[in-house]
Structure 1
Amino acid sequence: MIDVLIIGSGGAGLSAALAAKEAGASVLVVGKMYPTNSQTSMAQGGMNASLGNMGEDHISLHVQDTVKSAKGLCDEDMVRHMCADAPKTIAWLEKLGVPFSRINKEALQNDRDPNASLKTIAQRQLGGASAKRACYAQDYTGLKILHTLYDTCLKEGINFLDEHFLLNLIVPEDTVKGATFLDIRTGEVKQIDAKSVILATGGYAGIYHGFTTNMYGASGDGAAAVLRAGGAVSDMEFIQFHPTALKHSCILVSESARGEGGYLLNEAGDRFIDELKPRDEVARAIFSQIQAGQHVYLDVRHLGEEKLTELLPQEVELCKLHEHVDPAHELIPIKPVAHYSMGGIDVDYALEVNGIKGCFAAGECSNAKVHGANRLGGNSLLEITAFGRFAGENAYKHSIYASSKPADETQLQKDRREIASIFSKKSSISFYSYREKLGSLFYKKVGIIRENSRLQEALEEVISMQIAQKEMGITDKNKTNNQNLIEFLEFQNTLLLAPAIISAAIARDESRGAHYKVGFEEEDEDFKKHIVLQWKRDNQEGESTL
């Protein structure tokens, strides 16, 4: 029986795997895609750590900036934990071989300090930060970290099971015993028993299909599985909209472009917002310009072709490929789109899921109470690495005392019947059109600026979709490598989470961080709290409602 089963093979999952392995655990990492395809590879701008290489900075300032951005909804102890771990986490990543960009400090060449190399790591300022704090590798930071972590996992002999889709957690008597998966290659439903489980399945911003920087697979699979298993989610209404996505493709243009000195301009050529304010403020300012009929642009022409090629090579190529503009000579048309889920699986101080013993969650799927109402740029890569390792250590500690008795096959047989029923059911409605409809609905009515009447309309439309879902199914009846089936299961998960997001947004009659509501434009002390959602069991068959 495996000590630690890790579900998700992005930065959080790989960091957890290395920590658990180092502690002495037997580890298996299961993912629905290959590790190097994970969302972590799309994190471009940098990773926060108070090294002070580009000017005065210290951990207390990092804590202060994070708490300020969170608008009172973070747990300061968890924030201090994360920020204090940041320099050690950067040192660990550097030791593994992450190729951070460097500053030229010849005086350090003969420095005998073992940490001298940390002093050469280049840092840039991202939105909401009071100092140049984000360590970066050009604008490929997440990709370089991800590849380094994966290479290290392979060197350490950590086992991987790729192309396995999470179906459900196995939770008899409130304690996790493993999970069930669909083997995408074969179509077989499998059970994997484990003494402890770590969910590192990513966020749910993919619900804004067509209006998000996220890949289609960011469907909240882990959060949906936790709800079905009796666990809790929290702060689901807080979804960050990134200010600068390419206008026509929604491809992310990293905050590093503004961190290096890029301007935001309207059609008149006016700068209408401080580009380095927190993301929620910048996104709303851009959205207001667009609502007023203005086109909005990111201008990096003044940085010069040489600097752009050196520091932002990926952004340059993305703009040329997807928007057909050369940033060195032309303005970049942009718009804000859904980017990051601040809410997610509700966890305690050890990152253990509230309501499910032995199950831990790390990364974007987890609400560790460090981002609150608005995440700082550069804190996501820090969280997945620092808290990924923390989750790995804690999951191993749990496994030491956990029972090694395997779970029965009740959940396995139930899931096999469910998958079989999907194959046998005739599909009279295409779920793809509803996936597009759901994305548009959320962007328009559960978006950057919200109104209670429109949120209520969105909830009613989602309920109608859930009713129509009974007539939806798949047209591809092949058992093997069935992408039609995977996308249907992902759509089911997003449709399950949709009411939780909308209900929490309706309940929060105030504006706080990324949640901005017309008619309630100010923060309200009565809402300085987390909205936690959990299913209640309705009958003996285990059907549940929020």
Structure 2
Amino acid sequence: MEVTADVVVIGFGAAGACAAVEAATAGASVVVLDRFTGGGATALSGGVVYAGGGTRQQVEAGVTDSVDAMYSYLRHEVRDAVSPETLRRFCEDSAKMLAWLEDQGVPFDARVSPFKTSYPTDDHYLYLSGSEDAWPDPAPRGHRTRAKGTSGRVFFTRLAEAVRRAGVRVMPQTRAVELIVANGRVTGVRCRTLTGLPRAVHSALSKVGAKPWLYYPPLGRKLFGLAAWLERYGRPLVVHAGQGVIIAAGGFIADRALVHEHAPAYRGGLALGTPGDDGGGIRLGVAAGGRTARMDKISVWRFITPPSALQRGVLVDSDGQRFGDATLYGAANGGAIVERGGKAWLLIDDEILQAARAQVKTQTAPFQRWQVRYLLGRGLVTAPTIEEVAAKAGISPPEPFGTPPYSLINVSVRAGFGYPCPMLTLGGLVVDEDTGQVQGVAGLYAAGRSAVGVCSESYVSGLALADCVFSGRRAGQHAAKEARC
């Protein structure tokens, strides 16, 4: 079986969907391939897009922000993952990018969260999603998709609708196994595609297994293992690309061996993604002649809030030594905890504990309450003195502060059930920052977590989705330009 299109996109998450819409809008015929049914890690995410410099929502909320302020803050986070010119372009285009998403049907809201949180409740959709408070001119730039619960499903659904409105052909249950290279150029993709009953069962298993994969991995692995077994019944398919192939197949957090090879210190966390985040897209690019970078960059999320009162606590290690800053974004503290062997505790006094307990009802979304039950319950030990509480926790006594009794909350990477430590990969294929083309490989592009991008050094909430939109649109536009040449 053979199919032909101008542009072929591998992966149907945020980056793939944005690439497809842009390529189709520019007049190219587009085929999207996805191993499962689409959505990927995007659909399981919080649906937060990092944007600023004066978005419609910021203006409506009375928030003062500028491109310069956004750029200045992100320089501290992004560092040299991309060039200053690319980051400046990302910031300058940020408000227009969010407006483009709204044009595709993705809803946003201007209600600002009045408290520090890892994810806002259904009453708030604009919030400080990173460590902005630690730098000059902070502004809320986390734009959560307006939806109940975690918003990623609605974010992706609206993009998927836009893809289909654009006339793109989407082929689910189709796994890309090899890129076709002719005369030094990528000209297509060899695939295995499911049909009939195996396709229907594969689809059902992947849909049912998505949440268990995140929240109860043993069950998720079994369900997706059955789905992978069914892939043996896939039929050969060749998809010819007239001018461009775009890899947007996610990262590699689901491949434990690959994570251990590149970042051996990052073990024991929750793989934040889907089984499709197995590095398959990155491997395709490497096999075609591409190279990778920043494969050792893993974002580890150790969120302390909500409740917001807990950010007044002090992080300490096994030796009782203070480190980090509890007011910073969870990934900043997660990385610092990994550097200390994955062990850490949050020291709080009685005043902080009582304030935190009073905030639970108003500051937590339903999915966050498991974490709060751990933080203020099973993960906490309390004693009248610093020496006694340290002995209970099994660490050296830290320097006291505040009002006794004192409490220590175990915030280690492997703290226990109910308080997982999510991790995702940030590295990938090296691309030309003006076009998204994989360096050294004609006809091949990469976007999202399959490529090095804006968030490949440091992650804050919303930056990965924003980069998926930014890099996906870039790849789609330039692949379509080649199709018109």
Q: Tell me the TM-score normalized by structure 1.
A: 0.60
Structure 2 gaps of 5+ residues are: 113-122, 133-137, 200-232, 258-267, 380-408, 414-420
Q: What does residue 213 of structure 1 align with?
A: 272
Q: What does residue 55 of structure 1 align with?
A: 63
Deviations 1:324-375 (A, max 9, x none): 948898869755446232221110020001121111111111113x235223
Alignment-mate amino acid for residue 83 of structure 1:
C
CA drift of 1:216 comes to 2.9
Q: What does residue 187 of structure 1 align with?
A: 234
Alignment-mate amino acid for residue 361 of structure 1:
A
Q: What does residue 246 of structure 2 align with?
A: 198
CA drift of 1:48 comes to 1.4
Deviations 1:275-305 (A, max 9, x none): 3425553014444677557589999644332
Match of 1:150 among 157, 160, 165: 160
User: Conserved in 1, the CA contact under 8 Å of 2:254 and 2:277?
Assistant: yes
Q: What does residue 86 of structure 2 align with?
A: 78
Aligned Cα RMSD in Å? Answer: 3.4
1:37-48 matches, within 5 Å, as 38-44=40-46, 46-48=48-50
CA drift of 1:155 comes to 3.0
User: Conserved in 1, the CA contact under 8 Å of 2:316 and 2:344?
Assistant: no
Q: Kindly tell me: are residues 177 and 65 of structure 1, through their superposed partners in 2, closer, same or farther at Cα, counting changes over 3 Å?
A: same
User: Which SS does the other structure have where 1:177 is aligned?
Assistant: strand
Q: Kindly tell me: are residues 329 and 241 of structure 1, through their superposed partners in 2, closer, same or farther at Cα, counting changes over 3 Å?
A: closer
Alignment-mate amino acid for residue 430 of structure 2:
D
Deviates more, 1:120-129 or 1:201-210: 120-129
User: Which SS does the other structure have where 1:9 is aligned?
Assistant: coil
Match of 2:464 among 360, 377, 380: 380
Identical-residue share of aligned pairs (%): 24
User: Conserved in 2, the CA contact under 8 Å of 1:182 and 1:190?
Assistant: yes
Q: Kindly tell me: are residues 284 and 20 of structure 1, through their superposed partners in 2, closer, same or farther at Cα, counting changes over 3 Å?
A: closer
User: Which SS does the other structure have where 2:460 is aligned?
Assistant: coil
CA drift of 1:60 comes to 1.6
Q: Kindly tell me: are residues 260 and 154 of structure 1, through their superposed partners in 2, closer, same or farther at Cα, counting changes over 3 Å?
A: farther
Could you tell me how far apart the structure 1 residues matched to 2:62 and 2:410 are? 31
Match of 1:315 among 339, 355, 368: 368
Q: What does residue 25 of structure 2 align with?
A: 22
Q: What does residue 251 of structure 1 align with?
A: none
Alignment-mate amino acid for residue 3 of structure 1:
D
1:47-446 matches, within 5 Å, as 47-50=49-52, 51=54, 52=58, 53=61, 55-103=63-111, 122-129=125-132, 130-137=138-145, 140-184=150-194, 185=199, 186-195=233-242, 196-208=244-256, 211=269, 212-244=271-303, 257=305, 263=311, 273-279=324-330, 281-287=332-338, 294=345, 301-308=357-364, 312-316=365-369, 319=370, 325=373, 335-336=412-413, 337=421, 339-348=423-432, 349-368=434-453, 370-401=454-485
Alignment-mate amino acid for residue 360 of structure 1:
Y
Q: Kindly tell me: are residues 183 and 213 of structure 1, through their superposed partners in 2, closer, same or farther at Cα, counting changes over 3 Å?
A: same
Q: What does residue 392 of structure 2 align with?
A: none
CA drift of 1:266 comes to 6.7
Q: Kindly tell me: are residues 194 and 288 of structure 1, through their superposed partners in 2, closer, same or farther at Cα, counting changes over 3 Å?
A: closer
Q: Kindly tell me: are residues 86 and 143 of structure 1, through their superposed partners in 2, closer, same or farther at Cα, counting changes over 3 Å?
A: farther
Alignment-mate amino acid for residue 41 of structure 2:
Q
Q: Kindly tell me: are residues 278 and 293 of structure 1, through their superposed partners in 2, closer, same or farther at Cα, counting changes over 3 Å?
A: closer
User: Conserved in 1, the CA contact under 8 Å of 2:314 and 2:326?
Assistant: no
Deviates more, 1:141-150 or 1:202-211: 202-211
Q: What does residue 486 of structure 1 align with?
A: none
Could you tell me how far apart the structure 1 residues matched to 2:22 and 2:307 are? 32
Alignment-mate amino acid for residue 167 of structure 1:
V
User: Which SS does the other structure have where 1:206 is aligned?
Assistant: coil
Q: What does residue 119 of structure 2 align with?
A: none
Q: Kindly tell me: are residues 172 and 56 of structure 1, through their superposed partners in 2, closer, same or farther at Cα, counting changes over 3 Å?
A: same
Deviates more, 1:73-82 or 1:91-100: 91-100
Alignment-mate amino acid for residue 315 of structure 1:
Q
User: Which SS does the other structure have where 1:243 is aligned?
Assistant: coil
User: Which SS does the other structure have where 2:234 is aligned?
Assistant: coil
User: Conserved in 1, the CA contact under 8 Å of 2:337 and 2:344?
Assistant: no
User: Conserved in 2, the CA contact under 8 Å of 1:27 and 1:159?
Assistant: yes
Structure 1 gaps of 5+ residues are: 105-119, 245-254, 402-546
CA drift of 1:64 comes to 1.7
Match of 2:36 among 19, 24, 33: 33
Deviations 1:503-545 (A, max 9, x none): xxxxxxxxxxxxxxxxxxxxxxxxxxxxxxxxxxxxxxxxxxx
Q: What does residue 412 of structure 1 align with?
A: none
User: Which SS does the other structure have where 2:186 is aligned?
Assistant: coil
Q: Kindly tell me: are residues 293 and 382 of structure 1, through their superposed partners in 2, closer, same or farther at Cα, counting changes over 3 Å?
A: closer
Could you tell me how far apart the structure 1 residues matched to 2:440 and 2:363 are? 50
Could you tell me how far apart the structure 2 residues matched to 1:87 and 1:361 are? 23
User: Conserved in 2, the CA contact under 8 Å of 1:343 and 1:366?
Assistant: yes
User: Conserved in 2, the CA contact under 8 Å of 1:304 and 1:328?
Assistant: no
Q: Kindly tell me: are residues 197 and 288 of structure 1, through their superposed partners in 2, closer, same or farther at Cα, counting changes over 3 Å?
A: closer
User: Which SS does the other structure have where 1:392 is aligned?
Assistant: helix
Could you tell me how far apart the structure 1 residues matched to 2:9 and 2:342 are? 43
User: Which SS does the other structure have where 1:98 is aligned?
Assistant: coil
1:456-495 matches, within 5 Å, as none
Alignment-mate amino acid for residue 255 of structure 2:
I
Alignment-mate amino acid for residue 45 of structure 2:
A
Deviations 1:95-146 (A, max 9, x none): 3332324429xxxxxxxxxxxxxxx994201223332111113662332211
CA drift of 1:189 comes to 2.2
Q: Kindly tell me: are residues 258 and 276 of structure 1, through their superposed partners in 2, closer, same or farther at Cα, counting changes over 3 Å?
A: farther
CA drift of 1:265 comes to 6.9
Q: Tell me the TM-score normalized by structure 2.
A: 0.67
> How many corresponding residue pairs?
365
CA drift of 1:14 comes to 0.7
